[in-house]
């Protein structure tokens, strides 16, 4: 066992290392603060100067992190944030939490990872542990990151160690903060994995080592592919149930009483956020490189992508029953974030619904207490107020996101028609209400 490994592990266990977290978004910032709260010295690095400015002004920009929590951690002196990558040379552990979007629907974009690793490679000091958390296709850590780090002459397992540990942050989920979400770790070598496990055991209750970085990469994609396929299935079944005059929500509620062999998924207007719409398509793309086409992934993705169009078709049908046309109809969309109770618009199906309604010449307004204004593609709107008189003036109200702070009873009392994509009116029978 080399002295670099044993010395680094000892310093990790004694919390005598400095950790750099690269990327201070919804994954990186909570992670950085958790390390600082548990006694590590942490440096946050982000090329987005607006984020750095927020931290320097002691103001949070992440829903899951309150300004008060950020200020408490900053007051300890264990967390600072800058935009200069040269500072990673001060750290013995570097954790990468940068975005991994899609260039096109089926083409991964790991350019942010490559840029971050290239900057790290210029400044890394010998004896450093590097961990990638950004979701990506199996093989990225070994096939892309390892060569980039070694191209300046450093050798893995001698001069540095490399792991992959998939992020599992669930924005808005107060039941599972960072330290309560089990952490999977896979290393390029056993020694790298051992160091990665030691780092995360310093802040997380349960750490799960796996045999390789490639396995850890596949774990994350399995988790979100499982969700994508089951959401696609229940969305398709909801369309089928509508044709058969069956309430799919009642079906799911009854089915979930079975204590084994069933896990409930619920239909919705589409899927947003950074993970589910994208991550399985990384796996789909990588599988094609091996001559394998995953029909399940593509089908589920296509079904879900079609849901905003389907919602608008159903709204048109609801209006037509009342002898109204979608064209020129006044439509109020309630909720524009991709999930309830968070200020996050990434890939929100509500935005697609608004754009499709606008293309169909409907007069669209929206209400969302978390999002005061919208500027997205062709959308340029401000959130309206919810007076009884205002609600009564809309031909149809579309419930697209089920925020806890919205008074749905007030909406029901004053509206003409409602199309409910989230089942907020569960158990309520009214001629006004149509459900997905």
Quick one: CA torsion of 132, 133, 138, 139, rounded to 10 degrees? 0
| 243: CB partners within 8 A, 6+ apart | none
- Residue 70 CA to residue 416 CA, distance in Å, equals 45
Q: Which residue is it, tokens 């260039």?
A: 103
Cα–Cα distance, 265 to 293 (Å, whole number): 25
Cα gap 97→44, rounded to integer Å: 11
Does an H or E element contain 249, and which? helix 248-255
**Between vectors from CA 187 to CA 288 and to CA 140, what angle results, nearest 5°?**
30
275 has catalytic annotation = yes
Find the helix or strand (DSSP H, E) in which 22 lies: strand 18-22
Helices (H), ranges, 63-212: 67-76, 111-123, 140, 146-150, 190-201
Q: Which one of 163, 275, 396, 405 is the catalytic residue? A: 275
Contact status, residue 332 vs residue 406, Cβ threshold 8 Å: no
User: Mind telling me the catalytic residues?
Assistant: 275
């Amino acid at each position: 066992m080399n002295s670099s490994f044993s010395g680094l592990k000892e310093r990790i266990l004694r919390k005598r290392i400095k950790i750099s977290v690269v990327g201070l978004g919804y994954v990186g910032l909570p992670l950085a603060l958790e390390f600082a709260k548990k006694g590590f010295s942490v440096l946050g690095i982000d090329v987005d100067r607006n984020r750095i400015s927020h931290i320097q002004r002691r103001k949070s920009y992440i829903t899951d992190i309150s300004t008060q929590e950020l200020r408490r951690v900053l007051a300890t002196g264990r967390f600072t944030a800058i935009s200069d990558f040269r500072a990673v040379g001060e750290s013995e552990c570097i954790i990468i939490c940068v975005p991994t979007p899609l260039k096109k629907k089926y083409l991964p974009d790991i350019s942010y990872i490559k840029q971050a690793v290239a900057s790290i490679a210029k400044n890394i000091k010998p004896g450093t542990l590097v961990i990638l958390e950004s979701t990506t296709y199996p093989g990225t850590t070994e096939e892309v990151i390892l060569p980039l780090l070694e191209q300046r002459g450093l050798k893995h397992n001698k001069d540095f160690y490399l792991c992959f540990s998939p992020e599992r942050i669930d924005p808005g989920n107060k039941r599972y903060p960072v330290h309560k979400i089990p952490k999977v770790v896979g290393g390029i070598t056993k020694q790298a994995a051992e160091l990665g496990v030691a780092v995360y055991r310093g802040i997380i209750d349960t750490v799960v080592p796996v045999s390789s970085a490639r396995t850890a990469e596949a774990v994350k994609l399995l988790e979100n592919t499982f969700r994508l396929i089951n959401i696609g299935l229940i969305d398709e079944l909801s369309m089928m149930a509508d044709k058969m005059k069956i309430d799919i929500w009642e079906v799911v509620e009854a089915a979930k009483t079975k204590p084994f062999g069933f896990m409930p998924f619920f239909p919705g207007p589409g899927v947003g956020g950074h993970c589910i719409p994208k991550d399985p398509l990384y796996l789909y793309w990588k599988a094609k490189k091996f001559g394998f086409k995953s029909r399940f992934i593509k089908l589920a993705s296509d079904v879900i992508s079609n849901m905003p169009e389907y919602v608008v078709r159903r709204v048109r049908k609801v209006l037509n029953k009342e002898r109204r046309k979608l064209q020129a109809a006044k439509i109020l969309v309630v909720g524009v974030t991709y999930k309830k109770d968070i200020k996050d618009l990434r890939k929100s199906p509500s935005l697609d619904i608004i754009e499709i309604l606008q293309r169909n010449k409907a007069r669209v307004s929206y209400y969302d207490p978390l999002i005061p204004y919208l500027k997205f593609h062709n959308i340029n709107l401000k959130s309206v107020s919810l007076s009884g008189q205002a609600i009564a003036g809309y031909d149809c109200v579309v419930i697209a996101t089920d925020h806890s702070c919205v008074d749905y009873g007030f909406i029901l009392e004053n509206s003409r028609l409602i199309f409910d994509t989230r089942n907020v009116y569960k158990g309520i029978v009214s001629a006004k209400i149509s459900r997905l």
